[in-house]
C-alpha cells in the first residue's frame, strides 16, 4: 500500500472509532454486527495499530541513512 492509501484508511478508521465511541451498546451491536461495543472498539484499534506500523515503516525507509562507502567498520553497502 502507498502512504496515501494508508493515510486514507487511517482517516476512515479514526472517524469510525469516534462514531462507535459516541454510540450506545445496542446500536453498535446492530449496525456493525458485533458482540459488544468494546470488542468492536478493540478490533478497530488493532487495525489502526497495524496501519500506523506500516506508515512508520514507510517513514523509516524514506528517511534511512545510506552508506555507500566500504570501510573496515562497514564492509558492506548499508541501507
Q: Per-residue pLDDT for 73 more than 80? A: no
Residues whose CB falls within 8 Å of the CB of residue 79, separated by 6 or more in sequence, listed in order: 64, 66, 67
pTM above 0.85, yes or no: no
pLDDT, tens digit (0-9, with 9 covering 90-100), for 6-48: 999 999 999 999 999 999 999 999 999 999 999 999 999 999 9
pLDDT, tens digit (0-9, with 9 covering 90-100), for 49-62: 999 999 999 888 87
pLDDT of residue 69: 61
Residues whose CB falls within 8 Å of the CB of residue 57, separated by 6 or more in sequence, listed in order: none
Q: Is pLDDT larger for residue 76 or for residue 5? A: 5
Domain ranges of the chain: 3-62
Amino acid at each position: 500500500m502507498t502512504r496515501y492509501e494508508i493515510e486514507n484508511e487511517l482517516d476512515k478508521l479514526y472517524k469510525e472509532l469516534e462514531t462507535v465511541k459516541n454510540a450506545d451498546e445496542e446500536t453498535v451491536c446492530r449496525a456493525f454486527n458485533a458482540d459488544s461495543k468494546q470488542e468492536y472498539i478493540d478490533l478497530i484499534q488493532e487495525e489502526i495499530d497495524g496501519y500506523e506500523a506500516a506508515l512508520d515503516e514507510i517513514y523509516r525507509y524514506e528517511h534511512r541513512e545510506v552508506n555507500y562507502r566500504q570501510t573496515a567498520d562497514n564492509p558492506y553497502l548499508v541501507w
